[in-house]
Amino acid sequence: MSVLPKTFLLEVSLYTCPCPWCGHYSASLSVAPPVSSRHRHQSDHECEKLEAPKQRMFATQQLVKEIVDSKKSAPPNKVRRGAKNAETAAKVALMKLKLHALGDKSLPQSERIYFQVYLPKGGKDKSKAMFFCKKWSIGKVVDYAASMASLKNDNNKASAKKLRVCHAETGAALPMDSCVETWLSSADNTLYNGGNIIIEYLDNECNDIEDAGQYLL
């Protein structure tokens, strides 16, 4: 068995572990305050620099609570969620609409836009599947839909109620001179290929219908 040099032994000091429950001695050169090898970790000898676990846990819990509370207080994006649902429903309905939709058969397939058109209240038909040209104006869509569904169309008379295309969710009447294609990529009142639109008679000063959801029931 090898023996440590005398010079080395003189440099090593024995320290009593400060932990009151320990009582062991330890040879140490670097630990301050010196502790026995059994209690060398901060959590074992109650180091004054060690952050209390309860404090860390409380801080973490407080942070989690603040994050949860902030999400609860934020208003839900109902409009975006509704738009996503409408887009998904339109994709599902599109194939079915293509089978029996009414429209101009001479229109190129690439220009066709399909809608389930909900008709004015009080008529014998609730809705009809139709397709239009995406390059048409909303006004031309109104005229064509009125012709296909045999609706009275007095849009050329100043004092008469006007047939308008309304968004199926918001109820907003779309401007007659706007192009169908622009509404396919619009952030507001978006139209979807395979989606729903409403055609209804509105007074000249009226720009929407209040009970849009009732048409789809």
Q: Can you tell me the distance from the alpha carbon of 189 to that of 144, in angstroms, rounded to the nearest whole number?
A: 21
Residue-wise burial string across 87-120, b where 16 or more C-beta atoms lie within 10 A, e elsewhere: eeebeebbeebeeebebeeebeeeebbbbbbbbb
Q: Which numeric CATH code is attached to 79-215?
A: 3.10.20.90
Say how far residue 120 (Cα) sits from the centre of its chain: 32
pLDDT computed for residue 86 by the predictor: 79
Residue 12 token pair: 């090593």
Phi-psi region of 115 (alpha: psi -120 to 50; beta: other; left: phi over 0): beta
pLDDT computed for residue 131 by the predictor: 98
3-class DSSP assignment, residue 108 = coil
Question: pTM of the predicted model, to two decimals?
Answer: 0.62
Q: Can you tell me the distance from the alpha carbon of 157 to that of 141, in angstroms, rounded to the nearest whole number?
A: 18
pLDDT computed for residue 78 by the predictor: 46
At 159, which amino acid appears? S
Nearest Cα to 132, choosing from 67, 169, 184?
184
Please list the residue range(s) of the chain that carry CATH number 3.10.20.90. Answer: 79-215
Nearest Cα to 141, choosing from 91, 189, 204, 197?
197
Residue 157 token pair: 């008379």
Nearest Cα to 19, choosing from 32, 36, 2, 1?
36
3-class DSSP assignment, residue 174 = coil
pLDDT string in tens for the chain (217-residue length): 555 554 444 445 555 666 565 655 555 544 455 555 665 665 555 555 555 555 666 667 777 777 667 655 555 554 445 667 878 888 989 999 999 999 999 999 999 999 999 999 999 999 999 999 999 999 999 999 999 999 999 999 999 999 999 999 999 999 999 999 999 999 899 999 999 999 999 999 999 999 999 999 8
Nearest Cα to 172, choosing from 142, 203, 208?
208
